[in-house]
Amino acid sequence: MSRLRLLTVENTDDPALRDLLDRSVIPDPEVSRRVAEIISDVAKRGAEAATEYGDQLGGGYQRIDDESLNQAVSDLDHRLRAAIETAIESVETYQRSQMPADRTISPTPGVEIARRWTPLRRVGAYAPGGKAAYPSTVIMTVVPAVVAGVREIVLVSPAGPDGAVAPVTLAAARLSGATEVWSMGGAQAVAALAYGTEDLAPVDKIVGPGNHWVTAAKLAVLGKCAIDLPAGPSEVLVIADETSDPTLVAVDLLSQTEHGPDSPAVLVTTDPDLAGRVEVEIERLLPDLERSDILAKALSDHGSAVVVPDIETAVELANHYAPEHVTVLTSDAEVVGGAVTRAGSVYIGEWSPESAGDYATGANHVLPTGGLAASYGPLSVTDFGSWRQVQTLTGEGLENLEETITALSDAEGLTAHGLAAQIRVRKIKDGVE
């Protein structure tokens, strides 16, 4: 049985690639309309509306008390707690290496410009939940905020069918450093974070992945508060050649498509025979996987194998596609991986599975999808602060720039701008302090 759609192309302009490349994270208009209604209602009625939507749509609306968080940590088995703590340490180490540094320069005599960074005051982190628990996403969204110096970090995650947030999610939130944890999800959670309620203060920024309802809500509140990026279905593109192990290619495709039935998986190869060998391995591995039904649908609906004439075309296609994940399994993986410039995260060589980045290396797994890796990057410590410019001029500095200021302000018809400089320069020349 062939699950991957087979395409053979000569270049990246081939019309056969149109459907593959044409994807977007923009939600369906009907979803956006309904989300707008939910946000408006929560903004007006606060906790009452958030509670009603939590009851109707699931996810709840309740702050988790400290006792429950501490108990969740106590109840963790040793192996899982050790894994969570190792992941936290790895993420913290990597994020600390990215901490912004203030900088001051003097471009001309008497002019000093400083660039200074300040952590945000309060942020909201969304971790998907409900039918599954994602403690790794808690770590990836909370730890960079802690490293950045954010004082108030609100973690929200929807309750499951039993009406409770998964204990492992609560434990990860406590261990990662979240200062508040709430049981809520969906558009109503995003609305509550953005606008606040009677018992939940609004946040400056919302980060973290979610379904199309969450994505639509994040886009809708942009302007009221900041967001990290709009996120669509998780995706992977594997670059392979005749030297690639078909089992590794297959398992890398499978490991990403198990996120959901709408997750794209793309194999790009120079070897026409590899696709068939990968299909054989997929069929061998699939039955034993817990989410085999989801995997089968994702591969049938969104799986592709693209045969290209050479590695250069493979890299060009990867950069056009600009996916969330790129795995390079070619003979010269480091060279090929270095040429991939538009991807959320790149995994080079057969010992670098995507799952290592998802859980353990310290790299962030909150990544741009749907082609947005062309303009967005991974979530990082720098997303949890803001830059400001600080400018100091001496009298000499202003005199040197007066002509530039007045000439440009006159050209734009903004003469008060020029006057602000001229009055000061006259004061300098008159010797008035």
The yes-or-no answer on residue 417 being catalytic is no
The yes-or-no answer on residue 334 being catalytic is no
pTM: 0.94
Per-residue pLDDT of the chain (433 residues; tens, 9 = 90+): 678 999 999 999 999 999 999 887 788 899 999 999 999 999 999 999 999 999 999 889 999 999 999 999 999 999 999 999 999 999 999 999 999 999 999 999 999 999 999 999 999 999 999 878 999 999 999 999 999 999 999 999 999 999 999 999 999 999 999 999 999 999 999 999 999 999 999 999 999 999 999 999 999 999 999 999 988 889 999 999 999 999 999 999 999 899 889 999 999 999 999 999 999 999 999 999 999 999 999 999 999 999 999 999 999 999 999 999 999 999 999 999 999 999 999 999 999 999 999 999 999 999 999 999 999 999 999 999 999 999 999 999 999 999 999 999 999 999 999 999 999 999 999 985 5
Residue tagged 């944890």 (tokens): 181
Amino acid identity of 398?
L
Q: Of 235, 279, 324, 354, which is the active-site residue? A: 324
Cβ atoms 48, 198 nearer than 8 A: no
**Fold (CATH) for 5-25+233-362:** Rossmann fold (3.40.50)
Domain spanning 29-98+119-229, CATH architecture: 3-Layer(aba) Sandwich (3.40)
Q: Where in the chain is the domain with CATH 3.40.50.1980?
A: 5-25+233-362, 29-98+119-229
Q: Of 325, 354, 365, 399, which is the active-site residue? A: 325
